[in-house]
Amino acid sequence: MSTGTTTIRHWISGSLTDAGSTRTSPVYNPATGQVAAEVLLAEAADVERAVDAAWEAFPAWSQTSISARTKIMFGFRELLNANAGRLAEAITDEHGKVLSDALGEVQRGLEVVEFACGIPSLLKGDYSDQVSSGVDTFSFREPLGVVAGITPFNFPAMVPMWMFPVAIACGNTFVLKPSERDPSASLVIAELWRQAGLPDGVFNVVHGDKVAVDAILDSPRVAAVSFVGSTPIARYIHERGSANGKRVQALGGAKNHAIVMPDADIDFAADHLSAAAFGSAGERCMAISAAVAVGSGADLVVEAVSARARAVKVGPGREAGSDMGPVVTREAQQRIVGLIGSGEEQGAEVAVDGRGLVVPGHEDGFFVGPTVIDRVGTEMDVYTQEIFGPVLSVVRADDADEAIALINANPYGNGTAIFTSSGEAARRFQRGVNVGMIGINVPVPVPMAFYSFGGWKDSLFGDKHVHGPEGVSFYTRAKVVTARWPEQAQASGASLHFPTSS
């Protein structure tokens, strides 16, 4: 462990702890390129300590009345709202995104907390009176036990909040393994839970890498795992977690296309394409990374979006006036720059080139400027790979059918959008694409918290989307009771035939 820098510790059973593993990983400030802290990387035994805490807390928490749980949820909501600025700063300092964007992330997470405050309604069961003579049937849902969340770097507050508010409100206890690249937001959240009165052990945070993840996947006391991250890891999590008998939802990567039809308002489309491609430096799973320009208007689309790309002000996330911050690490910066180069070598035209961008005073920051690559072919690396940077590839298609076929041929199916003024084209698109989340003149169609979030194909392994009704379903299991209360005089002898209604 290095000395002189802050060590980011685990949160187990209501307090910070650094007992256990001494392995660490550097956490950078991407705007300066400097190491800001070291984060502990848990060994399997550290994960087990967190699981112990969650396991011990589960009986009391799951038996806590729904109204008492709801009060804590409301308290947490108030604290989160009051501390949104502090949380956003923690995100910006380690992720790099601009503060307004970090605040937006907190807001979207807050909406899931608000959804979970409605848990008394969400957990209502069904009741059928007199299904047979003197027999009633009713159903209700119970929490699973200890559940875990493994989350990516790009939304260090929002993605965990897709998971734990619903899981905890349902009566589960939670172990979060956040990204080791930007771990501090999770600890701000843990502290807010404590202040809200959540009993110790209900929410725990273990930092770490593959060692911690594998310990979660192999722990027999973890009943369910929610994962969000890249596709290869999502597939792995789903396979290993499922093989160990767990319920698993694993959301993977994305390559989101936006079709621009010839009848679209080009300025409107270009404004939104630029925001969707370059917002958060393209490090959003719902970023638009491929624009499919249909028909004769393609040159106009490239021109309009290029003008907007050049106008984006790139700078440190904390600086007022920055529209876009750095990417998360030096490796990410180098990978993105390399992919832009590969596009050029493979025959695409770099219309706006973000390579070599230097932000004065932040020469060591991990910056890449907004980039537009025109005439991208589907065989090129910039198209086949998830770039996860501020790069918009423009692919040209002759008509809507070709554009839809292109989207459906892609292995990912997270989000997609169409810009058009034709209701008929929009309807054909919404019915024709094999994608989970669809925008019509909305480029980043992230569902509200009371719907569920999730993609199709290689963007999701498992059959439940996160938060919303599917989140409640994922974190609970059903019981159905068939009950008879016979009066003494009516008690009759049992029959051996298969019971039917009478």
Binding site for ligand NAD (CB under 6 A): 150-155, 159, 177, 179-180, 209-210, 213, 228-230, 233, 251-254, 285, 386, 388, 414, 455, 459
How many Å apart are CA 152 and CA 233, to the nearest integer? Answer: 11
Length of the chain, in residues: 502
Give min distance, CB of 230 to ligand NAD, in A. 3
Give min distance, CB of 88 to ligand NAD, in A. 18
Helices (H), 351-420: 381-384, 400-409
Which residues have a Cβ under 8 Å from the Cβ of 333 and sit 6 or more positions away? 326, 327, 366, 367, 368
Smaller CB distance to ligand NAD: residue 290 or 301?
290
Give min distance, CB of 225 to ligand NAD, in A. 11
Smaller CB distance to ligand NAD: residue 240 or 375?
240
How many Å apart are CA 147 and CA 464, to the nearest integer? Answer: 15
Smaller CB distance to ligand NAD: residue 179 or 219?
179
Give min distance, CB of 256 to ligand NAD, in A. 9
Smaller CB distance to ligand NAD: residue 307 or 442?
442
Query: What strand order describes the sheet that includes 135-143?
Result: 126-132, 135-143, 476-484
How many Å apart are CA 380 and CA 348, to the nearest integer? Answer: 8
Residue nearest to ligand NAD (CB): 229
How many Å apart are CA 395 and CA 375, to the nearest integer? Answer: 6
Quickly count helices (H) and strands (E) in the chain. 16, 23
The answer to whether residue 285 is catalytic is yes
How many Å apart are CA 170 and CA 162, to the nearest integer? Answer: 14
Burial of 319 (0-12, 13-18, 19+ CB in 10 A): middle
Smaller CB distance to ligand NAD: residue 329 or 430?
329
Name the nearest CA neighbour of 436 among 451, 463, 454: 454
In this structure, are residues 309 and 368 in contact, taking their beta carbons and an 8 Å threshold?
no
Half-sphere exposure of 40 (CA within 13 A, CB side): 22
Give min distance, CB of 392 to ligand NAD, in A. 16
Give min distance, CB of 480 to ligand NAD, in A. 32
In this structure, are residues 293 and 394 in contact, taking their beta carbons and an 8 Å threshold?
yes
Q: Is 320 helix (H, G, I), strand (E, B) or coil?
A: coil
Of the residues 285, 298, 392, 403, which is catalytic?
285
Smaller CB distance to ligand NAD: residue 29 or 226?
226
> Measured in whole angstroms, how far is the alpha carbon of residue 392 from the centre of its chain?
21
Residues catalogued as catalytic: 285
